[in-house]
Chains A and B, each alone.
Chain A
């Protein structure tokens, strides 16, 4: 390209000479002659100066401290944030559209946020593409603009000068955009935990906690953990064994998998499934109390739950028969179990409303151990006995009436409310969306306009004159 430019420059010079030498005294034409000669000289100078132009541009670029890498990483992180916000809003809307109208109506503003953020995403994408183009093509653009500049009769001089100005100004200016944005930046009023919310998503399921024998377990504490072990939510199951993670402030993750465990009577139990995957484990259901998905979690560590009595499971025991019967004030538990190894096993956990009358092992009395725990003001007895590897028939007799344990609501850590730091989800989404809309739409547009004005001025300096007819029109 440069050799063409050079030869064009030389051509321009000689055309100028030719015009000088034409024996026709037409002054309009003759005026072009010196112009062309000078143009030819300048254009050839530019061609030879090409490499220096590139070096000069790089020098100014270093001088101003611009850095393409930091710019690109900044843009990419902004893009990622916008993208995840949009994804979150989309997913949240999908969840909400399945809710009844009274709940869904209040979130129609989310569509506006989604549109604004999509525009932001578009602009940032365009900027990233533009930056990559300018960065990789700078030498070619400069060569092309010199070529245009050296075409005779100044035909493409304006185009060449504008292209050169544009390429140089944007090459130096675009990487400085993050500094521009920072000086005008709005304060980020988003709590850190909000990012968890965006990563994990929000849905409103209800979770049934049940024992191995399908008894719903009320007043159990369900802990919800993120992938790195952080506690992101905690709920207490209701009297019917369900945890209602209801709209709008409770909720549970909807996109990523999360871990749960159950705490009951001070004992921690693993669950099946231990790692809940919302995409496979949430089942669509009718809306009850602000939740529209169901999920069932089994606690294998609890074989049976009966009015506050837990029959605990152990790895080395197989429960062949288990029955609980009541007569008035007396409760009778009969177990037939297969024990694989000798050991000391926790059999049952009872609140102190019950009194242990007797335990018989194969119809004979046996020594047992009682461990006491405190659980929200109730004392819990955990009965354990030592067993050998064999089959046993155990009978336990209890007396007493069950009263419910009172777990204060303050122990709950609602997923959405704690992640947004106490504000409603709509409020937070609004402030985050506006911040990012401004960051990604308004500031870049302002900056691009500034750069374009600078490029325009620079182009005029380089010789872009807007067209004037070369003879006088009076």
Chain B
């Protein structure tokens, strides 16, 4: 049960971290599977296309995964150019 907001935030952060880890592993997996399908001796072009798509998506995933932190800091920087910092949270 959640007792206060920071617990919820903690929960979401943990979840995010786990998802990032899973995404990393899955990227590797799908990259390999993509190449495997692409290189399979099945004579259908659609199968090859499936493989190609998998590879591209996997690379894109790896790219966005790596860029994640960078992106958020770029946004924070842009906003800070024109923003006012958040007010202090109210003290109890």
Contact = CB atoms under 8 A, between A and B. Distances in A.
Interface of A: 1-4, 7-8, 10-11, 13-18, 20-23, 25, 30, 33, 37, 41, 44-45, 48-52, 55
Contact of B50 (A8, A25, A48): A25
B75 interface: yes
A41 B22 CA distance: 20
Interface string B54-84: 1001101110110010011001101110111
A18 B22 contact: yes
Interface string B16-32: 10011011101101100
B23 A17 contact: yes
Contacts of B85: 51
A51 B82 CA distance: 10
A39 to B, nearest CB: 13
Given A3-B9, A23-B33, A41-B71, A11 B15 contact: yes
A44 B72 contact: yes
Contacts of A33: 57, 61
B23 A21 contact: yes
Contacts, number: 104
Nearest to A52: B83
Say what secondary structure dominates the interface of chain B: helix
B83 A48 contact: yes
Interface of B: 5-6, 8-9, 12-13, 15-16, 19-20, 22-24, 26-27, 29-30, 33-34, 50, 53-54, 57-58, 60-62, 64-65, 68, 71-72, 75-76, 78-80, 82-87
A49 B83 contact: yes
A219 to B, nearest CB: 76
Contacts of B60: 20
Contacts of B58: 20-21, 23
A10 B16 contact: yes
Contacts of B83: 48-49, 51-52
Nearest to B78: A45
A45 B79 contact: yes
Given A23-B30, A50-B86, 20 more contacts: A2-B86, A3-B5, A10-B12, A10-B72, A14-B20, A17-B65, A18-B19, A18-B22, A18-B23, A21-B24, A21-B57, A23-B54, A25-B53, A25-B54, A33-B61, A41-B71, A45-B79, A48-B83, A49-B83, A51-B86
Contacts of A4: 5, 8-9, 12
6 contacts: A7-B12, A17-B19, A22-B30, A23-B54, A23-B58, A37-B64
